[in-house]
Amino acid sequence: MKIGIVCYPTFGGSGVVATELGLAMSRKGHEVHFVTYSQPVRLDLLSPNVHFHEVHVPDYALFHYQPYELALSSRLVNVIKTYGIDVLHVHYAIPHAYAAYMTKKMLEDMGIKLPIVTTLHGTDITLVGSHPFYKAAVTFSINQSDVVTTVSESLKRDTEKLFNIQKDIQVIPNFIDPKTHVNPLKCERHVLAEPHERIVSHISNFRPVKRIADVIEVFKKIRDRLPAKLIMVGDGPEKEAAEMQVATYGLMNDVVFLGNSREINQVLCYSDLFLLPSEAESFGLAALEAMAFGVPVVSSDTGGLPELNLHGKTGFLSQVGDVNLMAEQSIQILLEDDTLENFKKNAKTQALRYDIDGIMPLYEAAYEKAIQRVQ
């Protein structure tokens, strides 16, 4: 199949899912074309089956806002015509599903049928998409897609609750690749912690929805009880406040901010616990990636997290903002070697249920279904 993929190229989960899926499809022999405004962070271009088409939005004095959807849909029309793309898979509704619909209409005028698969990832529905300023366009473009998928049952329920959806929504969860989510040859634990210290980690885009202050608060309570280090990976608007909070608590020697990293396996290979106290989380890909390395998760009980993080087995869940309980749960996991080993084993077993080899055929079937629907 020739597959077009539209996604955000940044460190966000939706871009990671789109890129990893496209790369896996290309390894299976499909020809994959990424169309976005810069090269996706996890995209490895050294493969004859992978193409990247950059979308340029020329600036003009009159533009207060750059017309990205227009540039994207024009680029898509050209790529789809030139390469004979069979199906277009757009990740994140805003503005990708809308641009896909415009592309479909333009191609229809040229006698070309374009099947569209839209994958909803979370904030495009829960935080941004349902805002009255966007809602009509988001509802319309979801309903115009030939196949719609969400990354969790919870996001499917939210989509059906928040929008007037006329389509069946298929749940296809996010995934990991057990062949790449493996400990690196050198796992340099000693660089960041002493042998007797536990290592806690957090990876995100440091947006308010991630409740970064709760991560620090929980860690402070852990640190009051046992020797531990906190590794913070990622960058975003809440990072500076987090650094100040760490300084206020006098934890500068115990918390390391690494910034954005392409090498999360270097952090996850020695992590003993992953904290994800988010306000909302349609799936929690960062938690799944941690679990793939056998790292237990203490998270909030929100969105798709309870589908992934099994309470009392792979980690613990608690109400959003309940930092006291999160700290107690973390300490329970970290204090005893046997308990920690047990949770680590369960986390790994649970992560393997999300093996890409089981998930990719679901997307291939979704592509086939979309192709049939436009015939």
Site residues, ligand GMT (CB under 6 A) = 12-14, 17, 92, 121-123, 151, 174, 205, 207, 209, 280-285, 303
Q: Least Å distance between CB 277 and ligand GMT? A: 12
Nearer to ligand GMT by Cβ, of 12 and 315: the residue is 12
Nearer to ligand GMT by Cβ, of 115 and 173: the residue is 173
Q: H-type helices in the chain, by residue range?
A: 13-27, 68-83, 96-109, 123-126, 132-144, 153-162, 189-192, 212-225, 239-248, 264-268, 285-292, 305-308, 323-335, 337-352, 356-374
Q: Least Å distance between CB 177 and ligand GMT? A: 15
Nearer to ligand GMT by Cβ, of 12 and 40: the residue is 12
| Spatial distance between the Cα atoms of 158 and 151, rounded to a whole number of angstroms | 12
Q: Tell the residue number behind the tokens 């050209």, with chain if given.
A: 78
Neighbours of 253 (CB within 10 A): 8
Nearer to ligand GMT by Cβ, of 129 and 294: the residue is 129
Nearer to ligand GMT by Cβ, of 23 and 114: the residue is 23
b or e along 157-183 (b: 16 or more beta carbons within 10 Å of the residue's beta carbon)?
A: ebbeeebeeeeebbbbbbbbbeeebee
Q: Tell the residue number behind the tokens 């641009």, with chain if given.
A: 99
Q: Least Å distance between CB 252 and ligand GMT? A: 27
Nearer to ligand GMT by Cβ, of 266 and 300: the residue is 300
For 154-198, give the DSSP string. Answer: HHHHHHHHHS---S-EEE----B-TTTSS--S---HHHH--TTSE
Q: Least Å distance between CB 151 and ligand GMT? A: 4
Q: Tell the residue number behind the tokens 């493969």, with chain if given.
A: 47
Q: Least Å distance between CB 21 and ligand GMT? A: 11
Neighbours of 300 (CB within 10 A): 25
Nearer to ligand GMT by Cβ, of 174 and 266: the residue is 174
Q: Please give the DSSP secondary-structure letter assigned to residue 311.
A: B
Q: Least Å distance between CB 141 and ligand GMT? A: 16
| Spatial distance between the Cα atoms of 84 and 101, rounded to a whole number of angstroms | 17
Q: Least Å distance between CB 332 and ligand GMT? A: 25
